[in-house]
Amino acid sequence: MDSAKYQELLAKYLNGDCSDEERALIDQWYASLDAEVDLPATADEKNQLLARNWQDLSQRTLKSKPARPLHFRPYWAAAAALAVLLGLGWYFQIWKTTSVPTQAFEVSDAKPSFVEKTNTSALPKRITLSDKSIVTLEPGSKIRYPATFTGQNREVTLTGEAFFEVQKNPHQPFLVYSNDLITKVLGTSFRIKANAANRNITVSVRTGRVSVYSPTLATAAKTKSDPETIGVVLTPNQQVTYLDLEHRLVKTLVEKPVVLVQKAELPTFTFQNAPISVLMTAIEKTYGVDVVYDEEVMSNCFITTSLEQEDLYDKLNIICKLLGASYKVIDAQIVISGPGCQ
């Protein structure tokens, strides 16, 4: 096929006059090539590029094969389109050139490739990401992530349960997508557990701070604000559960709160006729939690006890028994209620 026929088909495409078959073939090829190289973003840019460089493209395509006569049949249009695509395929691989057509350079901003891993074993699987963050993937769970993190965020998708130890990078937040929930961190360690049966998701924090939110909540609230603003912020020993059916976030404490201070800074839990405020301050400092109680009602309460070996909830149970009080965990705070002391 001579250059005139190539020129005719391209002109039809650029002018919007080609048949549906011709246009579909060109667009399908263009879409498949986009997965491999960085192409012009808009239709106008694509058309401008084709029009501007057609002469060079057609000459190179014609030289790639020995010329031979062709007998045209009714399907000539599709055949011509295919020939053009072969030429375009070569050209777009080097479309980012200088004014000299033969000076091509390698495209460096191609779309990142992704890695998907499923833990089919009976033990947790440790995975190191490109930024040196570590993911401990639980059995039966799956994670998908870029081979190399690029762009503004570090984004992964989790199905199941995993523990994350994220390297700090304030300029590139780390986002975990799990069902409808998004967990955003700068650098911290936390666990995400997605329940496959009811789609509920629990996020618990060991160190640092994380923001947990869902675009679904913003939709339900009929607000156009940033979904993150109606989410929750978690600190160590806190967790949140997203209730899928209710579209609601429930914030509380983790099942087993851990000591957050260094041993040298750990307050004593041996008390001799100590006011209740001293005990509450020690608990807050040790576990990083807020304790709420009526200071006036309990101003006359003094306690003698030793709580060096007990965990947080055992400590609270003993204190409340001595005070004749009770406690609840509400919105990740410990709320103590009681009649006070005479």
Whether the model clears a pTM of 0.75, i.e. scores above it, the answer is no
Question: Which range of residues forms the domain containing residue 168?
Answer: 114-253
We report the CATH number of the domain holding residue 224 as 2.60.120.1440
Give the dihedral sign, CA 319/323/326/328.
negative
Pairing of strands 161-165, 181-185: unpaired
- H/E stretch holding 8 reads helix 3-15
Whether 100 maps to a domain, the answer reads no
pLDDT one-digit tens code per residue, 51-106: 434 434 444 444 444 444 444 344 334 444 444 444 444 444 434 443 334 333 34
Q: What is the pLDDT of residue 31?
A: 52
Question: Do 118 and 244 reside in the same domain of the chain?
Answer: yes
* Residue 90, strand partner residues: none
Question: Do 203 and 285 reside in the same domain of the chain?
Answer: no
State both tokens at 308: 């060096």
Question: Quick check: helix, strand or coil at residue 45?
Answer: helix
Mean pLDDT by 10 residues, the chain (342 residues): 52 62 57 45 45 41 44 41 45 40 40 88 97 97 95 94 95 92 91 87 95 79 67 95 90 95 93 96 96 94 96 97 95 94 84
Count: domains in the chain: 3
Q: Of the candidates 278, 276, 290, which has an alpha carbon nearest to the alpha carbon of residue 323?
A: 276
Question: Do 211 and 229 reside in the same domain of the chain?
Answer: yes
State both tokens at 5: 């026929």
Query: Cβ neighbours of residue 157 under 8 Å, at least 6 residues apart?
Result: 143, 144, 145, 176, 177, 178
Question: Quick check: helix, strand or coil at residue 4?
Answer: helix
| CB-count burial class (<10 Å; 0-12, 13-18, 19+) for 318 | middle
Question: Do 49 and 86 reside in the same domain of the chain?
Answer: yes
Whether 286 maps to a domain, the answer reads yes
Beta strands in the chain (DSSP E): 114-118, 125-128, 134-137, 142-146, 154-159, 161-165, 174-178, 181-185, 189-194, 201-207, 210-213, 232-234, 238-243, 248-253, 270-275, 290-292, 302-306, 326-330, 333-337
Q: How far apart are CA 245 and CA 180, in angstroms?
A: 11
Q: What is the pLDDT of residue 126?
A: 97
